[in-house]
Structure formats: structure tokens, C-alpha cells
Homo-oligomer: A and B are copies of this chain.
């Protein structure tokens, strides 16, 4: 009864519902769910942007900074280290003078691109609707009656 339809595109509904039931059944604690940690990472201000930049080709430290104008060196360093720690990017140091460092995606990092592209596409397509809903909501707020 819980079988997903194999040939057809199963509704995202079912997919997520199944997953959620698994999570919330038994004593699986949502609080400790590792997926949450990962999603939090993706949600932070810079990770996704850096991944997208590196998706094109490996970049050097300052190159990334130029591609993302409003990131500070501090955040760039920190986010890169987090991504490296999670095995999403590689860090190659060339002992040239002055030294140069090149960052690139690992296989794991590249495997993120596909779901990420889906999400970005959705965001682009939905952006007008969201903007509309938002202004409608705000208008209703400011003129209640």
C-alpha cells in the first residue's frame, strides 16, 4: 500500500510524506536529523553562491571574491573551510610567489548541482508569483478594512 508508482513521476507529496513519516515514526528525533544540518548549511548566506561560482570552473581565492562582490574575506574564508570540511570542495595550494590557492568542486560537490539547479529554477519561475503575493499581502495589511 505504501508502494510508489514506479513508472510515473511520483508526486512530491508522497515522496516527502513518506520521508516525514519515517522521520517522525518511532523515536527518530527531528531535532537531531542530519538533513536539517545540511539544509541549514545550504541556507546560509554564501554557500550556494560559492558552489554556483565553482560549478563553472575552479577559482582562486580572490577570483571568488570578485565574482561575489559583497562578500567579505572573513566570510569567504570561513565558508570555504566549511565546504572543504564537508568534502564539497578541494583546496590546492601552489607554492608560487606570491602563493596561490585554487578551489574546486569535488564529486560530492558536483552531485549537489543537480538538486540545486532544480531549486534555483523553481525560485526564478516562482519569483513573480511571490512578489505578487507579497504586495497583495502588504496592501491588505496597510488597509485592513
- Tallying the copies of this chain within the complex gives 2
Stretch at the interface among A72-80, A92-100, A124-132: A124-132
Interface residues of A: mostly helix, strand, loop or mixed?
Answer: helix
Contacts of A115 in B (CB 8 A): 115, 118-119, 121-122
Q: Which residue of B lies closest to A118 (CB)?
A: B115
Which of chain B's residues have a CB closer than 8 A to the CB of A84? 137
Contact A52 B123 (CB under 8 A): no
Distance from A7 Cβ to chain B, minimum over Cβ atoms (Å): 17
Binding site for B on A (CB under 8 A): 12-13, 15-17, 19-21, 24, 29-31, 34-36, 38-40, 42-45, 48-49, 52-53, 55-56, 67-70, 84-88, 108, 110-124, 126-127, 129-134, 136-138
